[in-house]
Amino acid sequence: MAENVKQFLCVWPFGLKGLVSTAATLVFFFFLVACAALLIWVDIPLIRGTAFGQANFTSPSSNIHGERIMYPLNCSDYVNSAQKCSDNYPSVFEPGESTSEACPDYFRWIHQDLKPWETSGITKEMMERGIPGADNRLVIINGSVYLEKYRPSFQTRDLFTIWGILQLLRLYPGKVPDLDLLLFTGDTTVVMKGDYEGPNATSPPPVFHYCGDKGSLDIMLPDWTFWGWPEVNIRPWEQTLRAIKEGEERIKWEEREPYAYWKGNPNVAADRVDLLKCNRSDQNEWNVRVYTQDWLKEIGQGFKNSRLEDQCTHRYKIYIEGGTWSVSEKYIFACDSMTLMIKPVYYDFFSRSLMPMQHFWPIRNNNKCRDIKFAVEWGNNHTREAQAIGTAGSKYIEEILAMRNVYDYMFHLLNEYAKLLRFKPTVPPKAQRVCAESMACSNKDLCKEFMVQSMVKSPSDKLPCTLAPPYEPEAIRASLEEKEKITKQVETWETENWEKLKKKQ
C-alpha cells in the first residue's frame, strides 16, 4: 500500500520546503495515506492501469508537434540555476503553413460563454469580486506564467490544468496575449446567473471552470485530465484514447455482452445510488450491469481491474453525472459502444454539440431502469442502427477532442477573453512564476511521467484553426428545440412499449 501511495506525491514547485526532517516526512506519509482514502469519492468509472514503479520519462513523438525537439526538459540546468525558469525558449511563432482550417463547430460556444462581458468588458474590480470563488489566479505576461494560489485544489486538478496552459504557450509561442484570469477547480458552478440579474445588478466576475449549467456563468475550460490524473492512474488523453481504441478492437461489437454497463463510485450523487436499483436482481432484469468501484482496493492492487481499455466489453455504456458533470464522459464515448446518456444537468466545453440518436441514446433521469431496458432491447433488435450510434459518438470524441483541437480551443478562448480586459495585467505581489521545469522537475513518479508524456516538445508547424463567428440566437434556439423534439420522441417510444407490455400481462 505504501509503495502505491508514494506515487501520488505531486507537488507545486513552492510551499513544501519544510518537509525535510524524518518526523516531518513520516507525518507527510500518513497524510498521503489519508488522502488515498479519499479516493473512494473519486468521480470516474474506469481507470487506465500500468505497473507501478515502471515510469518512463521518454516523451513519445506526437502528431501535434512533430519530431523536432526544441523544448528539452532540462532539470539539471533548472536546479543549477537556483530553480529559475529559463527564458531561452522560442518566443516567436513561425508556422510552416500560411493557411488554417476551420475550427470545429463547437468552438463557437466560446462566444456564448464570454457574452456576459461583451458590452461591459472585464474590469479589475470584477476580477477582485471573483477571488472568493477561485482557487488560483493565473497571469500571463510576455509569454511567462505567474500563479497565485488562494486555496488548495482537490488532488492535482490545478497542477495539471496549469500544466496544460503552459503547453499551450509552448505550442504557440508569442501568440497568447497578456491576460489575468481566475480559476476554480471544484465540481460545483460558482458564478450564478441569478445573482447578477435585475435593475441594480452588478456585472458578474469572470471565473474559469470545467463545467456549467443553465443557471451559471462559469467560463468553460478543458479539465485537467487531458494532461493526466495520477491519483487514479489515468494517463494523458492522447495515450488513454489510443489504449481505448486498441481495447475496443479485442471484441467485435456484435460479440459483446448485450447489456448496458456502468462502473464507478455511486456515493458522489443520489442519482448514481438510484442507478444501482437497475442492476439485475431476482425480481427484475433491466438489462443493466452496474458495478461499484472500490478505490481503496484498486490502489492496493495497482489499478489492475479498472483499466479503461478493458471496458469495451458491452454493447451499451451508461453515462451518468456525479456531483455535477463527470470527466468520465469522454472515456465512455471513446469506446464505440452505444452511449446511454442519463439526462445531464451540466455541460463541459465540448458536450453542448452532442446530438441525441446521432451520438447517444437519451435516458430520463426519473425513469432510468425502464428507459435503459427499452434502449437495450431496441439496440439488440436493431444492431446496425445501435452500432452506428456508438460509432458516431466514438468518432465525434476521437476527432473533435484531438489534442490539437483542445489546444486550439484554449488558444481562441484565451485570446477572446484577453480582448475583453479593460486593464493592463500585472504580476500579483504574492504570485510566483511557474514553467515546465519548475513543475515537472519538482515532481516524480506518475506526476512527472504524465507531464513528460503530455509535454509539447516543439512549436506547432501549423496555424491555429480559424474561429467562426458566434451562433445566432435563432440557431441556438433551433438546436435546443431539435434536441428536445428527438428526446421526446424516444420517450414516447418507451412509454408506448411499456403500455403494450402491461396489456400483455
What pLDDT was estimated at residue 259? 97
Average pLDDT, the chain: 86
Tell me 65's DSSP state. Answer: T
Q: What is the mean pLDDT of residues 131-140?
A: 97
Phi and psi (nearest 5°) for 176?
Answer: -90, 120
Judge whether 218 and 190 are in contact, CB under 8 Å: yes
Residue 297's pLDDT band, with cuts at 50, 70 and 90, is confident
Which residue, 205, 224, 221, is CA-closest to 109?
221
Cα–Cα distance measured from residue 34 to residue 43, given in angstroms and rounded to the nearest whole number:
18
What pLDDT was estimated at residue 9? 55
Cα–Cα distance measured from residue 142 to residue 230, given in angstroms and rounded to the nearest whole number:
31
The string of pLDDT tens digits covering residues 101-122 is: 999 999 999 999 999 999 999 9
What pLDDT was estimated at residue 195? 95
The string of pLDDT tens digits covering residues 402-455 is: 999 999 999 999 999 999 999 999 999 999 999 999 999 988 888 999 999 999
Judge whether 159 and 228 are in contact, CB under 8 Å: no
The string of pLDDT tens digits covering residues 353-383 is: 999 999 999 999 999 999 999 999 999 999 9
Residue 50's pLDDT band, with cuts at 50, 70 and 90, is very low
Helix %, strand %, coil % for the chain, to 5?
45, 15, 40
Phi and psi (nearest 5°) for 152?
Answer: -65, 145
- Return the C-alpha cell found at 121: 468588458
Cα–Cα distance measured from residue 304 to residue 416, given in angstroms and rounded to the nearest whole number:
43
- Return the C-alpha cell found at 250: 479485442
Checking phi first, is residue 197 left (phi over 0); if not, alpha (psi -120 to 50) or beta? Answer: beta
Q: In terms of pLDDT, which residue wins out, 85 or 221?
A: 221
The string of pLDDT tens digits covering residues 186-239 is: 999 999 999 999 888 999 999 999 999 999 999 999 999 999 999 989 999 999
Which H or E element spans position 504? Answer: helix 473-504
Residue 68's pLDDT band, with cuts at 50, 70 and 90, is low
